[in-house]
């Protein structure tokens, strides 16, 4: 897994068009981690820039067969999510109680997702759902994501803390 530390105050790029794009997702409004069941664009823009430290996590996955797209989509999201939870546990052990994790894709931690979220302590809201432009933010840090996605794709998550 590739990681990079960053300064949330300086390097996060928000764009309200990202929130609008969320509405074209089949999960919009149907999960406890997706808009409009989470905080607003203004809320996250204010909140996320308050943290002192940030770390981006990027994992590469390869889609061997088109028929396995759904399965790999879920599995890849969970691999990243579990890594983020591990990172957060480490921070908590060191006393960093103010923290937040943002995942890649909708949260898949529970067998059945509910609205509202029944397990917010384990939830990972998708980065995009907060209004962060992931592609532009990574590009600013010198990490480039290529589109459209074919065989190789990347899951991106982040953890922010004080």
Task: Name the residues that contact ligand SF4, by CB under 6 A.
Answer: 31-33, 107-110, 113-114, 117-119, 122-123
Minimum distance between the CB of residue 108 and ligand SF4, rounded to whole angstroms? 6
Between the CA atoms of 129, 30, 111 and 107, what dihedral angle is there, to the nearest 10 degrees? 0
Minimum distance between the CB of residue 115 and ligand SF4, rounded to whole angstroms? 8
- Closer of 60 and 118 to ligand SF4 (Cβ): 118
- Closer of 123 and 133 to ligand SF4 (Cβ): 123
Query: CB-based burial of residue 158 (10 Å sphere; 0-12 exposed, 13-18 middle, 19+ buried)?
Result: buried
At 125, give phi and psi (nearest 5°).
-70, 140
Residue in 156, 46, 40, 45 with CA at minimum distance from that of residue 102: 156
Cα 144 to Cα 137: distance, rounded to the nearest angstrom: 10
- Closer of 56 and 78 to ligand SF4 (Cβ): 78
H or E stretch at 6: strand 2-6
Minimum distance between the CB of residue 124 and ligand SF4, rounded to whole angstroms? 7
Whether the CA torsion 80, 86, 89, 90 is positive or negative: it is negative
Minimum distance between the CB of residue 107 and ligand SF4, rounded to whole angstroms? 3
- Closer of 6 and 44 to ligand SF4 (Cβ): 44
């Amino acid at each position: 897994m590739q990681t990079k530390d960053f300064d949330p105050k300086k390097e996060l790029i928000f764009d309200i068009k990202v929130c609008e794009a969320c509405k074209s997702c089949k999960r919009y409004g149907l999960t406890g981690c997706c808009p409009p069941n989470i905080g607003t664009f203004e809320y996250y823009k204010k909140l996320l820039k308050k943290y002192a430290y940030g770390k981006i996590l990027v994992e590469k996955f390869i889609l061997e067969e088109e028929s396995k797209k759904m399965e790999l989509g879920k599995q890849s999201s969970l691999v990243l999510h579990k890594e983020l939870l591990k990172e957060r546990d480490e921070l908590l052990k060191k006393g960093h109680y103010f923290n937040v994790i943002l995942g890649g894709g909708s949260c898949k931690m529970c067998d059945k997702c509910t609205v509202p979220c029944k397990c917010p302590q384990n939830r990972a809201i998708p980065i995009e759902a907060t209004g962060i432009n992931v592609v532009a933010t990574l590009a600013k840090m010198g990490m480039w994501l290529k589109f459209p996605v074919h065989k190789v794709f990347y899951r991106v998550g982040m953890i922010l803390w004080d």
